[in-house]
Amino acid sequence: PRPPHLFVAALSWHCASSGITYVVQQVYSSQQPKPTKRTHTSFSMDKRGGGDRGGGGKRKKARYCGGRGGGGSSAVIPHGVQGFFFSCENGRENKTAAQLMQVLDEFYVKLCPSAAKKETEEAAVHDIQASLEAEISDLREKKDARFTKIDHETGKGLGFIKMAPSEEGPSVQDLAKALVQDVKETKEKKCRFLMRILPVANTCFPSKDLIEKNVKSLVDEHFPTEEGVTPVKFSVVLEVRAFNSIPKNEIIDLVAQMVPKPHKVDLSNPEKSLSVFIIKNICLLGVVYEYHSFFKYNCNVLAMSEEERAEMCRKTTAPGTAPGPSKKAAAETADKPTEADTTAEKQETEAAAEEKKD
């Protein structure tokens, strides 16, 4: 075995060299520039570490919060536009919007032949290469397109198609009526997943002042007050989703009172209906022709036969109405004397008694 003094000497030399090494490392590290502080967007790529907060944990995934105000989505229906609000099967919004834009374009050309004639003349003047370049540029510039799909997050199974304003072309009311009338006559849906469609003449924020301002322009256009004008039977259609800032009865009274007096209210069979559709923070205003005659513009019901509609009415009761009394109950009610009949009989009996006394 080695002598103990040699072991002690070796241990002393090792401690001395370690101390020298530690001092050199401290001096070297003090002369090096300090690393810059990492921002919240950077993260460590070390699999063992947890980013800036040290090791021992999993690295969290980076998150992106789009939209305004640091969160939420900015995909909403813009204000001051016209178009069509539709409902469809869940998950079929894009497919339905593409088919609906194609169908609306067909009806647009039918109702306005001058638009088709103009497009034909322009195509004849230019050669094939120029027409292709023009078509590509039109597709890239969506704002110049006749119909444009608006991306929004108001709910599943809902969509909105914006229509570019035109002085010569048909209105959104005429296009919507032509579409549902075709479904009713042919019993065929050109848009497979389309359920319901509503024309929208204008959009705004759902406040009383803005609703009154925009409805006034619709009333002036569709309900004239000149002499000799035939009175129009109208109604107010209100649908509200995820909105409770204004009571429903106040909105209905506000809109109904704006229609001038020559025109009359008819809730059973109106010729024109002022539609107010509020969903979250957007208000869709429009005028619908023959709303009840076309089954609230429900394409599924319009495509049914008379027998299928009758069967559907038997199975389901219309909302807001109670089932009528049976034939037996109606007969019993008819046989029973009413309070007015009893009072009249008493008066006749008293009058006869007085005559006998006289």
Q: What are phi and psi of 19, to 5 degrees?
A: -65, -40
Q: How high is the pLDDT of residue 315?
A: 82
Handedness of CA 132, 135, 139, 140 (dihedral sign): positive
Structure tokens at 45: 């790529």
The least confident of 91-105, 118-132, 188-202 is: 118-132
Model confidence at 295: pLDDT above 50: yes
Domain range annotation of the chain: 83-117+143-314
Contact between residue 136 and residue 83 where contact means Cβ atoms under 8 Å apart: no
Q: Decide if pLDDT at 201 tops 80.
A: yes
Mean of the per-residue pLDDT values for the chain?
76
> Cβ-count burial of 304 within 10 angstroms (0-12 exposed, 13-18 middle, 19+ buried)?
middle
Is pLDDT at 4 greater than 90 in this prediction? no
pTM of the model: 0.64
Smallest Cα–Cα separation from 276: which of 352, 198, 354, 339?
198
Q: Name the burial class of residue 191, with classes exposed (0-12), middle (13-18) and buried (19+) by CB atoms within 10 angstroms of its CB.
A: buried
CA distances for 290 relative to 37, 268, 293, 297, angstroms: 68, 10, 5, 9
Domain 83-117+143-314 class, CATH top level: alpha beta
**At 87, phi and psi to the nearest 5?**
-120, 150
pLDDT in tens, 40-80: 444 444 444 444 445 555 555 555 444 443 344 446 899 99
